[in-house]
Copies of this chain bind each other. A is one copy, B any other.
Amino acid sequence: MITGKNYIGNELSSIGSDTYKTFDPKLNLETEWTFYEATKEEIDKAVGKAHEAFQTYKKFSGAKKAGFLEAIAEEIEALGDELIQTYCKESGLPEGRAVGERGRTMGQLRAFAQLLKEGSWVEATIDTAQPDRQPMAKTDLRKMLLPIGPIAVFGSSNFPFAFSTAGGDTASALASGCSVIVKSHPMHAGTGELVSSAVIKAAERNGMPDGIFSNLNSSGIEVGQQLVLHPKVKGVGFTGSIKGGTALYKLANERKEPIPVFAEMGSINPVVVLPSALREKGLDWAKQYAGSVMMGAGQFCTNPGLILGIKSTSLDVFINALGEEIDKLEPSCMLHPNIYNNYEKGKKELSGQGGADVVAEYEKAVAPNYAKQKVLTVNGANFLKNPKLHQEVFGPFSIVVRCADAKEMTEVLNRLEGQLTGTILGNSDELKTYSSALDALQGRVGRLIFNGVPTGVEVCPSMQHGGPFPASTDSRFTSVGVSAVKRWVRPVSFQNWPQELLPEELQNENPLAIMRIVDSEHTNKKIE
């Protein structure tokens, strides 16, 4: 049942008087639920509890934390149809997507649990003593990763499960040994509350300290700002707009004690279509890309917003086919009227730029908040001289750039900002010919894709979901995949430390049988 209250640790709380409602974009009406904005007092209490809970939780074994994460997955599933229906109502997304994203979210929690049970992720590194070393004895030194403290997680609009309440940021922070305070996304506060109730149940069932998880409602920016500025908050995870993420990043850096912020923000995900792909598979790719642009009403971080080709008849054929294919697809409902309005505004702004021609524009009547897809084309020279065309339009929108030649294509790529992904369609011989373009692309993205679409982010150890600014605030980390845990930990060295007081990961016996680096060798053996 949705109460509209905040979770301050295990307690439901609604001491404030400001409220807001969520919105059903398909009905174009407010939902029946009313949510209480978290007050300053509630924020303080949640962070205070998170700080206290951290002191206990950080010492729990990997197995115990893994049990908690697995229990969260179970409790989410146990919410059953109420959760799925709430998700659909608050997002306008279809049931299949809700079920799929719930599965992904549970899969993420279980992947982190697996990581903890295996245990090697702490990067245990040991240099044993050399008492006879000349000119000076070497003392025993051992290092491993330890959690940094309470983490503020900002729910995203576009993934109410996988990048929100118990999504990748929360799962990775809890896995690392940190406590979590979620700033719930106001568009799906009901979904957020239900998922929070699952986390709290799992916490109680597994003997977790009260405060390990809190969920704060907020329809504005103040709650988030107060969280980021709270001295006891030690890190921030965010998925959303460049404007929002950059503002939080700057705020965190202005603190007396700056803290790390990982914000995954905008990306137009450039796609380079090389001549062979146009010649041999142009119509196939046109169809696949029409689908990729339209996926989830274009509301994916990895939506292909920019397609580059070299001027030729086959590029024209591809562009026409892309237009025809995308026109055949039915628009779908966006997450919220605000997102719909921003989409319409962005689409209009970019369509009005000099040299931009329309390739496709859906023209039939649609219900409110349904996004009509649009594809533009522009030549390379116009694209190069107009940075407005480099902006992301969040929705089913893409621009095809007709470059004069390989040199201009490279120039376009060199001019782009940082991106989550970059895709090349072609054959491998061509990659050698277009090595400068490839080089430019590689320098700007977190993930390179060959002959595929950027949408669809596999949750696995080798996934990099991040990229140079503004795709993220720190290209050295990822928000998807088990490496995401690295954002919330720091190495601590123990010098000449008594064996029995070392963390298990660093003891001679290696009781967890993890992989370690001992005297510069990778090994899972014990130290004799």
A interface vs B, CB < 8 Å? 55, 114, 118, 120, 125-127, 136, 138-139, 141-143, 146, 148-149, 249-250, 253-254, 257-260, 417-418, 428, 431-432, 439, 442-443, 445-452, 456, 458, 460-464, 466, 468-470, 473-476, 478, 483, 486-487, 489-498, 500-501, 515, 517, 520, 522, 524
Contact = CB atoms under 8 A, between A and B. Distances in A.
Copies of the polypeptide in the assembly: 2
Given A143-B463, A522-B522, A492 B257 contact: no
Contacts of A490: 446, 466, 468, 475-476
A136 B483 CA distance: 23
Given A418-B257, A461-B517, A428 B492 contact: no
Contacts of A496: 449-452
Contact of A461 (B125, B259, B431, B466): B125
B498 A428 contact: yes
Report the 5 A-B pairs with minimum CB-CB distance, sorted nearest first.
A428-B498, A464-B493, A143-B462, A447-B493, A475-B490
Interface centre among A125, A126, A146, A483 (most CB of B within 10 A): A125
Contacts of A445: 492
Contacts of A466: 490-491
Listed residue (A257, A458, A483, A491) with the most chain B CB atoms within 10 angstroms of its CB:
A491
Given A260-B476, A418-B257, A448-B497, A461 B491 contact: no
A136 B103 CA distance: 13
B127 A428 contact: no
Nearest to A515: B522
A141 B495 contact: no
Nearest to A149: B443
A495 B431 contact: no
B258 A469 contact: yes
Given A258-B469, A451-B496, A493-B447, A464 B143 contact: yes
A136 B459 CA distance: 13
A122 B509 CA distance: 28
Contacts of A258: 249, 469, 473
A493 B143 contact: no
A277 to B, nearest CB: 13
Most buried by B among A125, A442, A483, A493: A493
A498 B431 contact: yes
Nearest to A469: B257
A520 B125 contact: no
A350 B493 CA distance: 31
A493 B127 contact: no
A127 to B, nearest CB: 4
A496 B452 CA distance: 8
Given A253-B250, A476-B490, A500-B428, A127 B462 contact: yes
Given A260-B474, A448-B494, A492-B445, A461 B522 contact: no
Given A114-B520, A260-B476, A464-B493, 7 more contacts: A141-B460, A143-B464, A428-B500, A448-B492, A462-B517, A463-B493, A464-B492
